[in-house]
Chain A
Amino acid sequence: MSVPSATLKPRSAAHHAAGWLAWRLLPATPFVLVLLLWMIGWYIFQPIPSTLPSVAAVIEAIWERAVSGELWTHIAASLSRLFVGAAVGIVTGIVFGFIAGLYRNVSEFLNPLVIFFNAISGIVWLPLMISWLGIGHALAIFVIWNTVFFIVFQNTVLGVQLVPQVFEQGIQSLGGGRWETIRSVTFPGALPYVLTGIRSGLGFGWRALIAAELVGAPEGLGQMIFAAAEFHRSDVIIAGCLIIGVIAIAMDRWLLAPIEQRTIQRWGLVIDTAKES
């Protein structure tokens, strides 16, 4: 990715490399800017730590918790919930999505229910589920499952329905049975959509998890920041928020985006259905 030159003069290689580097470094500027503003603002106004902690205090809060191991307990608790909840959500979403996608009657019947339950998916279930499951792992896992399921389900249905019938008929005319058709055409055809669903589902699941942990969980990142609020420990809250953001970005960029990219490359073009922004 090179920067088009503003001038018509041919550029030297070094100049070009500098431009490339500047382009790559550009996304860092807002972070640096916010950090600088925060530091300068803090230095000038010297607010009380519970209103706005210093940058150093936040770094110290992270460091302290990392050394004592408390931070890893919270991260592990949150991530393990996310993985269990998401795994169940993905499997059920794909299975039911395939059934609904293959049988139009089923999908037509279920559609109003899906629209309604999608509208209340995730955290809206919290009060009812606290009554049923109590506070703990099961609650968070249910909320994640509920969030991930509907996104994966809807994308799978769409993916299955959008596989061109010609391909299916092609397999059938060559003597392939129903199972063979699903395995060699429908599944690979729908896969890019399924993966898009999984990717945005995990993004939503992560948010829902933090919300669920705020309300009720013995440990986890959401609980860490909520407990910190009681003691007016803004440094811990901001530290927690930054960690939540970093995990979300890292998960999306290094785990989900590459998987999606690879399938799209392998199976050809896909239209982004999740309208992810």
Chain B
Amino acid sequence: MSTGAASVGVSPRLQRPEPALAALRRMFGGFKILLPFAVLIAIWWIIQAVGNFPPNVLVSPAAVWRAFVYLVTHGVMAEYASTSLWMIGIATVLSMLIGVPIGFAVGVNRYAAHALEGFLRFLQGISGIAWLPLAIIWFGFSHTTTLIVVMYTLIVPIIFNTMIGVRAIPENYALALRSLGASRLRLVKDVYLPGAMPSIVVGMRLGMGYGWRALIAAEMLVRKGGLGDLIFGARTFGQIDRIIVGMIMIGCLYIIVDRLIVQPIENLTVARWGMLRK
């Protein structure tokens, strides 16, 4: 994973030229991460070879690799993957824009927070995907339907964690600023926003985890592009190789987004404001 980080270049620390020894150690570290997968693939290969399954039940790792190369070189993978990534990106941005202000408005008032907590828990109990049939009736089999479902899934943890973050700020900080004559806006800018930031980022990360799964499920049912559509469509034709390629893609993309984009943001806020409980 560290080698991937260097090429993507998220963290400047990883881009610094390193002495050969450290590079070697890193290579070995990468090998240690890959070893379990190598074992797994070997087992899979043996099972496939011994069982001699028909291709609509199980295919060999080589066939999966061929399907992967085919999908990539023909631009199919880029098309499906970009649809999914685009969707989760838009949904995250929109949910943050809506959810964070709501979380703030609710969080600064203890009565509002108490009133809304149960309601939010109830909404969280109904997964976004349960609303999918209704969303399909309202918006048809469209990207809007998918977006609504993903945003519903994302927004609840964001509101919740923003609220918790604001509530966790010691009241004295706000009181101190207020006694010095700070305005409400100033209070939000200098106390509530920095104080709640780590919690907001945690909420975003959690939400993206839920949202990614909801996205895949919604894509399977809406069938308008995206990786969920890719694997569910492949099932109709019994293309096990494509299903497995799609699953690996879904896992890898999630790990890449989570570890290389969201986690650094989280670490940054924690390092900067240093108030996240581990």
Contact = CB atoms under 8 A, between A and B. Distances in A.
Contact of A229 (B137, B161, B250): B137
| B contact patch SS | helix
B235 A116 contact: no
Interface in B40-90: 40, 56-57
Interface stretch (B2-10, B11-19, B178-186, B239-247): B239-247
B75 to A, nearest CB: 22
Given A126-B232, A226-B133, A120 B125 contact: no
Contacts of A34: 119
B130 A126 contact: no
A222 B129 CA distance: 9
Contacts of B24: none
B114 A27 contact: yes
Contact of B136 (A109, A110, A211, A229): A229
A22 B235 CA distance: 54
B263 interface: no
Given A132-B57, A229-B136, A245 B123 contact: yes
Nearest to A242: B126
A26 B136 contact: no
A111 B255 CA distance: 13
Given A127-B220, A127-B234, A127-B235, A120 B133 contact: no
A262 interface: no
Contacts of B213: 122-124
B243 A127 contact: yes
Given A126-B220, A238-B134, A245-B122, A120 B40 contact: no
A128 B56 contact: no
Contact of B37 (A51, A113, A123): A113
Given A124-B216, A248-B125, A109 B36 contact: yes
Given A225-B133, A277-B164, A27 B157 contact: no
Given A27-B117, A124-B251, A252-B125, A229 B217 contact: no
A200 B219 CA distance: 25
A214 B129 contact: yes
A237 B126 CA distance: 12
Given A127-B231, A131-B240, A211-B217, A237 B36 contact: no
A245 B126 contact: yes
A99 interface: no
What is the size category of the interface that chain A forms with chain B?
Answer: 35 or more
Given A131-B238, A237-B137, A110 B203 contact: no
A229 B111 CA distance: 38
Interface string A82-126: 000000000000000000000000001111110111011011111
Contacts of A117: 251
Contacts of B126: 241-242, 244-245, 248
Chain B interface category by residue count: 35 or more
B155 to A, nearest CB: 12
Contacts of A28: 118
A269 B136 CA distance: 46
Contacts of B133: 214, 225-226, 228-229, 237
Most buried by A among B126, B161, B220, B244: B126
A240 B122 CA distance: 14
Given A127-B235, A245-B123, A240 B130 contact: yes
A244 B246 CA distance: 30
**Considering residues A30, A222, A234, which has the most beta carbons from chain B within 10 angstroms of its beta carbon?**
A30
Contacts of B277: 271
B216 to A, nearest CB: 6
A31 B157 CA distance: 19
B116 to A, nearest CB: 6
A116 B220 contact: no
A113 B57 contact: no
Contacts of B147: none
A116 B251 contact: yes
Q: Which 4 A-B pairs have the closest CB atoms?
A: A248-B125, A229-B133, A27-B118, A207-B127
17 contacts: A27-B119, A108-B32, A115-B255, A123-B213, A123-B220, A124-B231, A130-B235, A131-B235, A132-B57, A206-B127, A207-B127, A214-B217, A222-B130, A229-B136, A245-B123, A277-B124, A277-B157
Interface of B: 32-37, 40, 56-57, 111, 114-119, 121-127, 129-134, 136-138, 157, 160-161, 164, 202-203, 206, 213, 216-217, 220-221, 231-232, 234-235, 238, 240, 243-244, 246-248, 250-252, 254-255, 258, 277
Interface of A: 23, 26-31, 34, 50-51, 108-113, 115-117, 119-120, 122-128, 130-132, 203, 206-207, 210-211, 214-215, 222, 225-226, 228-229, 232, 234, 237-238, 240-242, 244-249, 252, 271, 275, 277
